[in-house]
Structure 1
Amino acid sequence: MSSDPWGRVDESGTVYVRTADGERAVGSWQAGSPDEALAYFKRKYDGLVVEIGLLERRVRTTDLSAKDATTAIEHLRAQVVEAHAVGDLQSLAERLDKLVASVEERREERKAAKAKQSEEARSAKETLVAEAEELANSEQWRAAGERLRALVDTWKGLPRLDRKSDDELWHRFSHARSAFSKRRKAHFAALDAQREDARRRKEKLVQEAEALSSSREWGPTAARYRELMAEWKAAGRAQRESEDDLWNRFRGAQDVFFQARGEVFAERDTEQRENLTRKEELAAEAEKLLPIADLKGARAAFRAINERWEAIGHVPRDARPKIEGRMHAVERALQEAEEAEWRRTNPEARARAAGLTGQLQDAVDKLRGQIDTARAQGNDARAEKLSRELEGRQALLDQALKGLQEFGG
């Protein structure tokens, strides 16, 4: 008979394993020595040790599910309980018990992690939904559209929640995107309609601008082009391809007109500058008539100068006030000389002046006589009053005599 701390072989070749509950026969050995029998059944025990070790490593280092781990543990436990092996089977059972506890612990950890992950995913999706609903009212069409597309990608990368919660959040998220898309579509449809209206209006403006390009009515046509430009700006923008083409035509028509006007105005400016030079010469010639000594000769000379002046034509607008002012100054001097001559030679005016002078002289002489009488009578107050009256009449007489001298007498 042969024995071991964990088993023995009796005389009949039966092999036993020792357990906490006593011995249990695990097999029979007839082919060799008892030591060989124990060695054989120990190898079966070692095989169980290896399998349990492998399962422990899988539980510890892989993502083996709790269900699969539990199934594997129970399978090994059945093998240990019924094992035809010699060794410390109790320690193997204890290792399996510890492994069960470890799997349960991992199950709870995974459950907690999953719950945390689910809560984080819920929070993240609620945040995405809130942002999407805010973006649904945005008019930053490009930026908001790009952001909504990014939110979809973010959503796809998040874990799913329970079906009801996930569907409810997705419905809100999808509704926000649809609302934004609907508003954006309506906006650009309205914008397209506005741009089409702008294209039609600008097409009419271009047609009128092209029709006016050959006009030679410089002032009215230039004014109309300014009005057309104001109408162009008020019309809004057409589609890009139409806008550029219409603008080139509109601007081209204006260029044709204003280039033609510029050429005419340049020629006219040259002519007017020459006219200015000639009129400056005539103004200088007229100014030599001043001061007027011979009214009749000056009048004839100015008339001849003015006839040549009128024949010359226009001068530059900015020079017109000054050059015309010089001629007007000579003309006013002639008018003033003529008025003075008329006053001097007018018989009726002379007679009136002489009559007035005579009346004033008689009044002065009469007042002087009255003053002398009052003083002779000792009436100084009356003499003083009459003297003041005499001063006024004498002043009028002096003025009348001066006027009478202008008539030569």
Structure 2
Amino acid sequence: MEDMVETTHPWGRVTEKGTVEVRIGDDWHAVGSYPDGTPEEAMAIFERKFADLESQVKLAEDRHKAGAPAKDIQKSVTALRKSLETPGAVGDLESLKSRVETLAEALGELAAQQNKEREKAVAVAVEEREKIVSEIEKLADGDLSQVRWKETTAAVDALFESWKTQQQEGPKLPKATADALWKRFRNARHTLDRARRAHFQARDKVVKEAKGAKRELIERAQALAEKGAAGIPAYRDLLEAWKKAPRANRAVEDQLWSQFKAAGDVLYQAKTAEAAAEDEANKENGEQKAALIEEFSDILTLTDHRQALERIRLFHERSRKIGPVPRAQVKVLDGKVAAFDKHVKKLEADHWDKSNPEKQARSESFLSQIDQDIERLQEKKSAADAAGNTQEAERIQAELDTKLAWRNVLTDA
């Protein structure tokens, strides 16, 4: 047996040949050698190896306390067990092995707890993915002809981002479940993509047709420029055709409308110029018409319908000879003429009411009836007076006064 070197280390010793041994229970086991160094140096090497093993065990224990994934800690425990199978360090290896085994036993409970938590997290994640899928399927199952694609596209993009976030940050789902949910999501998104492409293709077609139709209307409107104001009726027909033509998008529609309106403005500007020229030419007519109205203003003071009729006839005869007046004067002058006509018509109506034979016959018949009533009441009053019946005489007198008043009205009329 090799001679031993004295040492105060409780777990290790070094032989004279430099062999380092560790005590496990009552037995000593060689762990290595360092013949070229001192016993202290040799011992220090294997103490450091023990310290490294111990720190690995401590790290695994700390990870267990922190709730790290049990399967990851298990890998460390398996490696430590293998390292501790054959002594290779100096220290309390039995205590270290005991800690590793205690940790291995505790890992079963941690794994079970983590499995429960994982199952719960997976269930929540499946529910979240199902919610995302249901929302996009709801969009895909709607009336795709009525979709507002700007908002819907933004909603689909947001749902896809939520899906990626769940996939990256959430727990891993069972492959069959994940594949089934993704297939539903992908199919719904493809349905929306196809509908969106079809929508914009159809819209592009409409825009193309609208541009073609409206450019033709613009060309026809521009061709009316040489007609001046006379082209306005034709332009109005083109405007009706414009309203019935398909619409392009907002920017294109505004640009086309600007060109069409500019063509119409040319015509209306020509009309305005013609009207201004006409008004200037009719300026003297306006002055003559105003003077004529002033000359015949006495019509409003006449009370004899025959005189008024003759006067208004003469006015209109002279007025017709004057001709058109400037547009700015039409409303004012026509208003004054209307006042003349209204006054004369009223005089005629009043005269007719007074001379209407049918009305006169009714009045005469009524007057005759009243005269008979007055005669009858006078006789009754005389009888009441003769009988001394004062109360009856007063009642009859009141009725008689009413009849006399009616007679006065009829005779005055």
TM-score, scaled to structure 1: 0.60
Instruction: Give the aligned length.
Output: 315
Which of 19, 24, 27 pairs up with 1:24?
27
**What is the distance in 1 between the residues matched to 2:180 and 2:46?**
58
Partner of 1:157: 165
Give the partner amino acid of 2:334. R
Q: 1:311 to 1:16 in 2, by over 3 A?
A: closer
After superposition, where does 1:248-267 map in structure 2 within 5 Å?
Answer: 248-267=258-277
After superposition, where does 1:221-300 map in structure 2 within 5 Å?
Answer: 221-240=231-250, 242-285=252-295
Structure 1 residue 74 and structure 2 residue 74: aligned? no
Q: 1:211 to 1:320 in 2, by over 3 A?
A: farther
Structure 1 residue 52 and structure 2 residue 64: aligned? no
Q: 1:280 to 1:161 in 2, by over 3 A?
A: same
Note if contact 2:57-2:100 (Cα within 8 Å) is conserved in structure 1.
Answer: no
Q: Which runs of 4+ in 1 moved over 6 A?
A: 1-10, 14-18, 36-43, 287-291, 327-330
Using the TM superposition, name which of 321-330 and 135-144 deviates more.
321-330
Give the partner amino acid of 2:157. R
Structure 1 residue 135 and structure 2 residue 135: aligned? no
Q: 1:250 to 1:68 in 2, by over 3 A?
A: same
Note if contact 1:44-1:84 (Cα within 8 Å) is conserved in structure 2.
Answer: yes
Per-residue deviation, residues 121-178 of structure 1 (Å, max 9, x unmatched):
3222212111211232361211221221232223223234222111111111111111
Shift of 1:259: 0.7
Partner of 2:184: 172
Partner of 2:128: 124
Note if contact 1:16-1:86 (Cα within 8 Å) is conserved in structure 2.
Answer: yes
**What is the distance in 2 between the residues matched to 1:327 and 1:9?**
145
Q: Secondary structure at the match of 1:213?
A: helix
Partner of 2:153: 145
Q: 1:320 to 1:72 in 2, by over 3 A?
A: same
Which of 323, 334, 339 pairs up with 1:320?
334
Give the partner amino acid of 1:320. D
Q: 1:60 to 1:327 in 2, by over 3 A?
A: closer
**What is the distance in 1 between the residues matched to 2:50 and 2:113?**
28
Per-residue deviation, residues 78-129 of structure 1 (Å, max 9, x unmatched):
12xxx37776443232112122134444444544444344333322221211
Q: Secondary structure at the match of 2:29?
A: strand
Q: Unmatched 5+ residue regions in structure 1? A: 334-409
Note if contact 1:15-1:38 (Cα within 8 Å) is conserved in structure 2.
Answer: no
**What is the distance in 2 between the residues matched to 1:228 and 1:88?**
105
Q: Which has the larger radius of gyration?
A: 1
The Cα RMSD (Å) is 4.8
Give the partner amino acid of 2:129. K
Give the partner amino acid of 1:145. T
Give the partner amino acid of 1:60. D
Note if contact 1:52-1:96 (Cα within 8 Å) is conserved in structure 2.
Answer: no
